[in-house]
Amino acid sequence: MSKRFENRNVLVTGGTRGIGRAIVERFAAEGANVAFTYRSSREEADALIASLTGQGFKAKAFQADAADFTAAETAINEVVTDWGSIDVVVNNAGITRDGLMLRMSQDDFDAVVGTNLKSVFNYAKAAYRPMMKQRSGRIVNMSSVVGVMGNPGQTNYAASKAGIIGFSKSLAKELGARGVTVNVVAPGYVETDMTGALSDAAREAMLGAVPVGRPASPDDIASAVLFLASDEASYITGHVLHVDGGLAM
């Protein structure tokens, strides 16, 4: 039985933990050759590569600062050179440096916007020409419910995630006629290491605002990403897919 991404070449930024790792593993299980980037978690990256190759999957890892355009070009070019094409780019890398605007430093603002938004530009731009030449491709960018609704103490994060939505809609209009789609996934409250550190009271408050009454799993988000990257979504572009249990209604 054929798999949805048999012989497709995929690159995922921020692929070693949480949502990123779930996306990498799901693409591999669906037949893709998967490359991923990571910033500092070398042991986790090595373990993921060992796991994937041990199952017979083709995989690559790139240590890179997501905000570095040269690193993005290097990764995309190596995938194209070694595997022959770049079929899917998932821009998942992201950080938070929360704090009320009154006390937020310029460094905190710049770091979050650089990692979360500039990285989307970097990897989309690096893949732009190869995908245009192929006349096919999928770019899926990870935003957040915070980019849609806002959240106190996260002006930097909200700005970066809202920027991803506007960027993606504009790029979708540029690339649509070339067979390349650009879409956005906007997760809500996801059960990860980061949210696991919340107090019980904070967790209950967040869940109380989610109509379905539970957090998302990383696999819930990965399912949405794989759908938008698949042939089934070939007529969907410039769309923001909310995967938030109804939080942003």
Instruction: Supply the CATH number for residue 199's domain.
Output: 3.40.50.720
- Does residue 36 fall inside a structural domain? yes
Look at residue 23 in the predicted model and tell me its pLDDT: 98
- Does residue 249 fall inside a structural domain? no
Look at residue 179 in the predicted model and tell me its pLDDT: 98
Two tokens, residue 183: 């879409």
Beta-bridge mates of residue 33? 9
Calculate the average pLDDT of the chain: 95
pLDDT tens digits, one per residue of 11-30: 999 999 999 999 999 999 99
d(CA 186, CA 200): 24
Give yes or no for a contact between 165 and 114, defined as CB atoms under 8 angstroms apart. Answer: no
- Does residue 149 fall inside a structural domain? yes
Provide the residue range defining the domain that includes 85.
9-242
Confidence of residue 196 (pLDDT cuts 50, 70, 90): low
pLDDT tens digits, one per residue of 103-160: 999 999 999 999 999 999 999 999 999 999 999 999 999 999 999 999 999 999 999 9
Confidence of residue 203 (pLDDT cuts 50, 70, 90): confident
| pLDDT at position 197 over 70 | no
pTM above 0.85, yes or no: yes
Look at residue 201 in the predicted model and tell me its pLDDT: 79
Helix axes 42-54, 18-29, angle to 10 degrees: 20
- Does residue 247 fall inside a structural domain? no
d(CA 74, CA 35): 12
- Does residue 2 fall inside a structural domain? no
Among this protein's residues, is 189 annotated catalytic? no
Q: Which residue has the tokens 């939080």?
A: 247
- Does residue 215 fall inside a structural domain? yes
Q: Which of 38, 123, 128, 157 is catalytic?
A: 157
Count structural domains, the chain: 1
